[in-house]
Structure 1
Amino acid sequence: MYFRGREIHNDPVTGTRTIRSATMADVTALGELNADVQELHVRMQPTDFRAPDTTAAAAYFRERLTAPNVLVLLADEDGQALGYLYAEEQRLEADAFRQSSNVLHIHHLCTHPARRRSGIGRALMTTAEQHAASRSLDTLRLNTGSFNTDAQRFFGRLGYEPYRIRLMRRP
């Protein structure tokens, strides 16, 4: 399996859909894909999230693509970006309170609204899981907003389960 710009998955049904590492040529598409999911977060938690800014998101991905511990996957069909996954490898040392762990933390999973429920998210997650196994990472983790019940159901169908509850209070 190859990452960093090489194709890593062909969809057996269409033969044209690929899951591949995103490249610098993809940052505009990543920023555009991010806008819909960002808008959901802004709508549900406006005090925490910023309005979608595709230029700022593209610049963010441009920076992240150069980091050695970052994985950005792009779902592509006939040259059209359909979704992406952004994750980061985290190696956590043991201390007096916890065991060491090697984690792939999934920061973003996004599918174009018109292509949801077509297997793109599942293909991105499967590829991330394969990446984690190839890098000897022992855990995949992610966060989702308490308001995002669709995402919670999706991840539950993939076998993810709650492991921590985060609480907040504003003064």
Structure 2
Amino acid sequence: MKLEHSRDYKLLARLNRGVHELHVQLYPEYFKPYNYEKMIELFQTYMEDENNYFLVLFDAETAKGFIFYEIVTKSNTPFNKEYKSLYVHQISIEETARSSGYGKALMIELENIAYTLKVDCIELDYWVDNHVARNFYEKLGFHKKREFVRKDLDT
């Protein structure tokens, strides 16, 4: 198993398919069907932000998944204290490679990166109906600090 940072937006767009299709399945009212060409364009724009990073996991020279994270610095304000975090935007493992420890390996490496960068925490969010994600993160020691709620309006 090998972990390396990548800027290969075509590879990332392909690896994104599994998690995207899961979101479409769980929340079709919010997510569009997966479109590889559009994902390429999207990942190209993500590359423009120097705080965005993409860590890819390879096994036997085959990419099995990735994690997309951002280094975020929250300023000290009268409202909140300053802190620095690694914010996980997405983690995706190829469907045929799930439950093989690849997601855990990516998250362990992310934690190592966080210690090296001396950040205060790793933050992420997931959709409430994604029970697999919730269980995965709970097993890795993540716990709720805040909840995001939404009220849809008939407009």
Q: TM-score range by the shorter chain?
A: over 0.9
TM-score scaled to structure 2, two decimals?
A: 0.92
- Residues 1:96 and 2:78 aligned together: yes
- Residues 1:18 and 2:2 aligned together: yes
Deviations 1:29-51, CA, capped at 9 Å, x for gaps: 21122112111111222222221
Q: Using the aligned pairs only, state the percent identity.
A: 24
Runs of 5+ consecutive residues of structure 2 not aligned to the other structure: none
* More RCO (CA 8 Å, sep 6+): 2
RMSD over aligned CA atoms reads 1.3
The question of whether the paired residues in 1 share the 8 Å contact of 2:64 and 2:97 is answered with yes
Runs of 5+ consecutive residues of structure 1 not aligned to the other structure: 1-16
Tell me the secondary structure at the aligned position of residue 62 of structure 1.
Answer: helix
Which deviates more, 108-117 or 39-48? Answer: 39-48
- Superposition deviation, residue 52 in structure 1: 0.8
Q: Letter of the 1:132 partner, please give it.
A: A
Tell me how far apart the structure 1 counterparts of residues 67 and 140 of structure 2 sit (CA, whole Å).
15
Q: Letter of the 1:140 partner, please give it.
A: I
Aligned residue pair count: 153
Moved over 4 A (4+): none
- Residues 1:84 and 2:66 aligned together: yes
Residue in 2 that maps onto 1:121 = 103
Please list, as runs of the form range in 1=range in 2, the aligned pairs for 1:1-171 lying within 5 A after superposition.
17-24=1-8, 27-171=9-153
Tell me the secondary structure at the aligned position of residue 145 of structure 1.
Answer: coil
Q: Letter of the 1:114 partner, please give it.
A: T
The question of whether the paired residues in 2 share the 8 Å contact of 1:65 and 1:72 is answered with no
